[in-house]
Amino acid sequence: MNNRGRGILRRLASHKSAVVGASILLFFAILAVFAPLIATHDPREADVSARLKGWSVDHYFGTDGVGRDIFSRIVYGSQVSLKVGIIAMTLSISVGALLGILAGYYGGWLDNIIMRLMDMMLPLPSILLAMVIVAILGTSLTNAIIAVSIVYIPQYARILRAAVLKIREQDYVTAARVIGASDFRILWNAILPNCVAPLIVQATLGMGEAILIAAGLSFLGLGAEVGEPEWGAMLNENRQLIRRAPWTVMTPGVAIFLTVLGFNLLGDALRDVLDPQLKMQGKTR
């Protein structure tokens, strides 16, 4: 694994979009981790005497309608976004992968029940489905995360099922069965490690989408509470000011855009590097 892992890292390092994507994400990760050190103001503190200030040395990205420092709010907002992305993906991968593996490995009626349920969720637009789920659970950031996780479960279930179906027929899986391995050991040892590549790719791409959907929910008032430094919520709060103080809306918009772009670039690069069929195209890029 070490050799292989090193080879993948080397190929990633020579892949332009991987480097750009990873740099963007690293930048936001640093913002999130060191937010208290980097932020210049309290992100929640309103200073009415300094409303709608433009870019300046005192307020790098200006202030919003109630005088909160936008730079500090962006910095703290990156914490929320990364949290949403990571938690939502972890949740939906765990559940989706489990369902997909069960469906793919055991097949039959179990497969039918699981996959038909997934089929019912897939055609609905993600944001709509997420809104319905939040409407049922109630408005809060936690519920928005849960909603996003549920929305992405079918994708992972499908990917894992397809991978398991393919790998299940491999001789080394039959070999494992013949030498007395239990179903759990076959799944865990023989099948799962060989499904990881498509999963990593989808998880990276999915993380960007999850952040986008969560921001969308907050923008619609279904996610983070009013006043919280969340990028989507910031867009919502300041949307009437778009003519008078465009920076109040632009800055969180650009932050969302960059994060999602970073995940997409890295995800595409990972697909190039991990998927042997596309490997050649990845090198020529």
Partner 1 sequence: MSNTPHEAILDVRHLKKYFPIEKGFLRRVAGYVRAVDDVSFSVRKGQTMGLVGESGCGKTTTAWTIIRLHEATAGEVYFRVRDGEILDMAALEKGRLKEIRRYMGVVFQDPYASLNPRKTVLDIVADPLLNYGVKRGEREARVAELLTMVGLDPSTMPRYPHAFSGGQRQRIGIARALALSPSLLIADEPVSALDVSVQAQILNLLSDLRDKLGLSYLFIAHDLSVIQHICDRVAVMYMGSIVEEADTEVLFSQPAHPYTASLMAALPVPDPHKPWNPKLNGEVGKPSETGSGCVFAHRCPYADQICHDETPTLETKTTDTKDSHLVACHFADELQLDA
Site residues, partner 1 (CB under 8 A): 1, 3-4, 170-172, 174-182, 185, 189-190, 193-194
Which is nearer to partner 1, 2 or 284 (by Cβ)? Answer: 2
Q: How far is CA 28 from CA 1, 127, 242, 243, in A?
A: 29, 24, 25, 28
- Residues in CB range of 251: below 8 A, 6 or more apart: 61, 62, 70, 71, 74, 234
Contact 99, 118 (CB under 8 A): yes
- Which of left, alpha, beta for 98 (phi over 0: left; psi -120 to 50: alpha)? alpha
SS3 63: strand
Q: How far is the CB of 183 from partner 1 (least distance, A)?
A: 12
Q: Looking at beta carbons only, is 40 or 182 nearer to partner 1? A: 182
Cα distance between residue 160 and residue 79, in whole Å: 30
Task: Name which of 51 and 177 has its Cβ closer to partner 1.
Answer: 177
What's the token pair of residue 60? 């790098």
Considering beta carbons, is residue 18 or 195 the nearer one to partner 1? Answer: 195
As measured in angstroms, the least distance from the Cβ of 69 to partner 1 is 49
DSSP SS3 for 238: coil
Cα separation, 172 vs 175, in Å, equals: 5
Nearer to partner 1, 107 or 221 (CB): 107
Q: Are 59 and 47 in contact (CB under 8 A)?
A: no
In the complex, least distance from residue 46 CB atom to partner 1, rounded to whole angstroms: 55
Closest distance between partner 1 and the C-beta of residue 151, in Å? 31
Task: Give the nearer residue to partner 1 in terms of CB position, either 170 or 281.
Answer: 170
Q: How far is the CB of 174 from partner 1 (least distance, A)?
A: 7
Q: How far is the CB of 282 from partner 1 (least distance, A)?
A: 19
